[in-house]
């Protein structure tokens, strides 16, 4: 019973800390945007109630716009290099940063995953769901073997071609099966 309480409390902390930090950051961002949105809302010819709603909506739209512009700039090589340098020198030393980054990364689909084909990698006496990354010299296949329920972390292994079976499934349905600890694999992964 004590172990159950301990793991449940720790699980709650791991779940709630990133959520609380996210809410606090969005709240701070909305407070900062009020300096811009309040004068804009004063121009609108509505009553005080609608003006208050307009201030919040304009602030939220401004935060979304800033995030969009940040996402655009994140695609440039100079910004990627700067962020990687910042992460390796400073942010990686902050434990909560690693936790938040891991949580966010696991919920977002990687753009690099688009070319990955769902496969079944045959091991000694079992098979594991994986994603074919590429074919390499010597008849080998590079396969990413994801974990469950987080399909974006795992390991890369090299298999002989005859130990790989391509699955008749989409990347999305395969990820869904992994997140569900294999539940639904009978319907989603037809090559099993």
- Read off the CATH number of the domain in which 148 is found: 2.30.30
**127: β partners:** 122
Pick from 107, 124, 156: which residue ends a domain? 107
Q: Which of 191, 154, 189 is nearest to 173 (CA)?
A: 189
Looking at the structure, tell me whether residues 103 and 116 fall in a common domain.
no
**Angle (deg, nearest 10), helices 48-73 and 2-43:** 110
One domain for residues 145 and 119 = yes
Q: What is residue 158's predicted lDDT score, i.e. its pLDDT?
A: 92
Do 36 and 103 fall within a single domain?
A: yes
pLDDT at 140: 92
Mark which of 63, 83, 107 sits at the end of a domain.
107
Contact 62, 36 (CB under 8 A): yes
The arithmetic mean of pLDDT across residues 140-164, rounded, is 87
Query: What average pLDDT does this structure show over 120-148?
Result: 88
pLDDT at site 11: 75
Overall domain count for the chain: 2
pTM score, two decimals?
A: 0.46
User: Over the chain, what is the mean pLDDT?
Assistant: 79
Output the CA–CA distances (angstroms, integers) from residue 93 to 14, 74, 85, 102, in the order listed: 18, 22, 13, 14
Range of the domain at 24: 2-107
């Amino acid at each position: 019973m004590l172990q159950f309480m301990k793991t449940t409390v720790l699980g709650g902390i791991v779940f709630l800390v990133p959520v609380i930090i996210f809410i606090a950051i969005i709240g701070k961002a909305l407070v900062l945007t009020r300096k811009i949105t309040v004068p804009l809302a004063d121009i609108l010819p509505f009553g005080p109630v609608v003006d208050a709603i307009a201030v919040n909506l304009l602030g939220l739209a401004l935060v979304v716009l800033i995030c969009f512009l940040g996402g655009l700039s994140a695609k440039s090589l100079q910004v990627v290099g700067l962020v990687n340098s910042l992460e390796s020198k400073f942010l990686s030393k902050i434990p909560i940063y690693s936790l938040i980054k891991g949580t966010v990364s696991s919920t977002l689909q990687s753009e690099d995953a688009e070319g990955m084909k769902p496969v079944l990698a045959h091991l000694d006496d079992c098979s594991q769901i994986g994603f074919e990354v590429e074919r390499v010299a010597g008849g080998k296949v590079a396969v990413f073997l994801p974990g469950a329920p987080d399909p974006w972390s795992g390991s890369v292994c090299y298999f002989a071609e005859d130990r790989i079976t391509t699955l008749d499934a989409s990347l999305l349905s395969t990820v869904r099966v992994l997140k569900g600890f294999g539940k639904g694999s009978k319907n989603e992964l037809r090559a099993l």
